[in-house]
Amino acid sequence: MPASRSLFDTVRLGSLELPNRLVMPPLTRTRAAADGVPTPMMAEYYALRAEAGLIIAEAATPSVVGQTYPNITAIHRPEHIAGWRRVTDAVHAAGGRMFLQLQHGGRIGHPDTSGFVPLAPSPVPLDEPIHTPFGKQDPVVPREMTLDDIRDTIADFAAAARNAIEAGFDGVEVHSANGYLLHQFLAKSSNRRTDAYGGPVENRIRFTLEVVDAVVAAVGPERVGVRVSPGFTANAIEEGDTEAIYRALVPALAARPPLAYLHIAFADVDRPLTHEMRAAWPGVLIMNPLLPQDHLPADGGRSEAERALAAGADLVSLGRAFIANPDLVHRLRTGAPLNPLRGGLWYVGGEAGYLDYPVLASATV
C-alpha cells in the first residue's frame, strides 16, 4: 500500500472513476413526500454535494411493509422511480456519481406508518418507542417471516435494484447494518429461528447472502455494494457473536463475483476485527470512521479518515460533515473552516438545516 495515499486521490470503482476518496454515506433526512417520493429539495440537496467521490443516497424501502419512519424514501413504484430520476439527473449534471441504499426496516416499523404489522426474523419487538405520523408509539410485536415472506422480500430487493438503475443510479447498496431487517437476521437477539435462517452463524448470514445474490442477478455485481455494522448495538440489536458473524459473512461475500464495495459503518481502526475484515475482503473497502456522537470534530473527521486510509480503507465516508458542508471536499482540501452542525434540524422537514448550510462563496469565514 503506497504511503502517499491521499483523501484526494482518484479511485476506480467498477466502471466509475471517483475524483477523490471521500464518500457521502446514506443519511436519512425525512424530506420525502408522505408516499416516499423524493421531493425537489432533495435534488438540490444532493447536487450541492456532487463533488464527493461517491454519494450513497439515503435508505429507500423496497416495499410498503419495509417502511420504517414517516417521510423516508422508497423505490417500489413508478412515482418513486420518476422522483429519484430528478435527483440523479441533478447529481450527474453537477458531475457526481450516486448509489442508492436499499433498506427494509423489519421490526423497525409500525402499522400507523406503513399500514402493516412489521415483518421480522422472529416475533421479538423493539424495546423502545418508534416514530410514526402520530408521534412516538409503543412498538408492536412483529410477525415472524414465513419462507414465502423471505422469498418475496428477496424478490422485492431485486426489483428495487432494477428500479434504482432505471431511476439513473450508478449502483445500489444493500443495507445489512444498523439494526434493520438484514441485520436482524444476523443478530442472536432478534433471530430466534430454528430453520435454515436461524441458529448457527452460517444460517443467520443466509438471508443477507440471498438478498445480495438476487440483487447481483438483477443489476450486476459491479453495481452492488454491501453495508455492515459489526458490534452495532442501537435499535435493540445485540449480535452476540460479532466476530463469528463477520468471519463468516465477509469471506462469503468475497467468494461472490466481485462486488462494487464493502462498507463498514462505525469502523474502529483500533479494533482487530476491522483489520481482519480488510484482510478478508479483496475489493474496494469503505470505512465510516468511529467519531464522537455528540459533536462534529473541528477537522470534520479528516484525521480519522486518514487513519482509516492508513488501516487499509480505499474510500472513507463522513456523514455529519457532509450534512453541514455541501462543499466538504473543497474545505478539507484547502483547510477552510467548517460550518457548525445543527443536529436539531436533521429530521424536521423543510429547508432549514437542509438547504441553508452555506458553501464557501456565501459563507462568512
Active site residues: 180
Query: Do you know the residue count of the chain?
Result: 365
Cα 339 to Cα 343: distance, rounded to the nearest angstrom:
12
- The DSSP code for 129 is -
Q: By C-alpha distance, which of 40, 60, 68 is closest to 133?
A: 68
- Residue-wise DSSP of 233-275: -STT---S-HHHHHHHHHHHHHTSSPPSEEEEEEE-TTSHHHH
The residues near 143 (Cβ < 8 Å, ≥ 6 apart) are: 117, 118, 119, 120, 123
Distance CA 179, CA 331 (A): 33
> CA 36, CA 48: separation in Å to the nearest integer?
21
Residues with Cβ within 8 Å of residue 104, at least 6 apart in sequence: 61, 62, 63, 66, 153, 156, 157, 175, 180, 181, 182
Q: Which of 90, 97, 16, 8 is nearest to 56 (CA)?
A: 97
C-alpha cell at 169: 443510479
Are 80 and 60 in contact by the 8 Å Cβ rule? The answer is yes
Contact yes or no for 185/212 (Cβ under 8 A): no
Q: Which helix (H) or strand (E) holds 17?
A: strand 16-18
Buried b (16+ CB within 10 A) or exposed e, 280-298: bbebbbbbbbbbeeeebbe
